[in-house]
Amino acid sequence: MHRSNAWCSVGLGVALAMISVAADAAYTPVRDVEAAEADAPARDFAAETHLYCMALAVYFEGGSTAENVEGQQHIASVVLERARAKATKWGGADICDVVFYKRAGVCQFSFACLPAARRTPRGGSRWEQSLAVAKGELEGRSEVRERTLRYYMNPALTSDRNACRFRKEFVPVLEAGRHEFFREPTDAERAALATSEHAPCQRHAAALEAAKKRAAQAMAKKKRLATLAKQKKKAKKTKKTRYANR
């Protein structure tokens, strides 16, 4: 009985000691907190947000096409230059507004229209690379020297209709990775582009013509079937009339 009481006393003492230590550890004087905050570097939340948004564009636009670092750097350049242009048609001056800009239900960067679960980075080396590319662009350390780039497309994944539009509206500047990059035309160039001929345009026109032909054929077939149905119905009615008159 005495042994039990002794162990209870020791246990209670240890518990009280642990509580006291925990309380001392948990309690930090206000002056110490203020000193720690003063020593910590100030965070630029706007810069961190811009970095995240640009990294998303690099991560998904590049990742969806297995783009290399050179192509990703040029994609980051397009994002930054659109923001610098402060144009309403691209979303304004804020990088995140540019990345997530949507007009008439169409996202400027296709990944932005995906469900949230599918446009959330998974981390790992690919995300780290995207962050590094975005940071290099924002800090002026990018290897991209051509700053007129405003548009890009992947010819292997772009429809003939879209490729034709690019060829007729924008001036090709360079290729980087899997993408082609374009700048906006001057007035003189715009007129010349509008009348230019390109293979994607010819293929698109041929596809439209073929679709029209198929639609005409389907309509003609439908009319023939309707006519046959009418003739059968009329013949059946005539046959019934003949039997009735006998």
Quote the pLDDT of residue 233.
85
Quote the pLDDT of residue 37.
60
Report residue 127 as tokens: 């995300």
Report residue 224 as tokens: 């023939």
Residues 6+ apart with CB under 8 A from 147: 77, 81
Which residues of the chain, if any, have pLDDT below 50?
A: 1-26
Quote the pLDDT of residue 35.
62
Distance CA 190, CA 174 (A): 18
For the chain, domain boundaries:
45-196, 200-246
Quote the pLDDT of residue 16.
38
The conformational region for residue 112 under phi > 0 = left, psi -120 to 50 = alpha, else beta, is alpha
Quote the pLDDT of residue 122.
84
Quote the pLDDT of residue 13.
43
Quote the pLDDT of residue 172.
96
Quote the pLDDT of residue 31.
64
The residue with tokens 């990703």 is: 72
pLDDT digits (tens, 9 = 90+) for 43-86: 899 999 999 999 999 999 887 678 999 999 999 999 999 999 99
Quote the pLDDT of residue 105.
92
Distance CA 50, CA 132 (A): 13
pTM for this model (two decimals)? 0.72
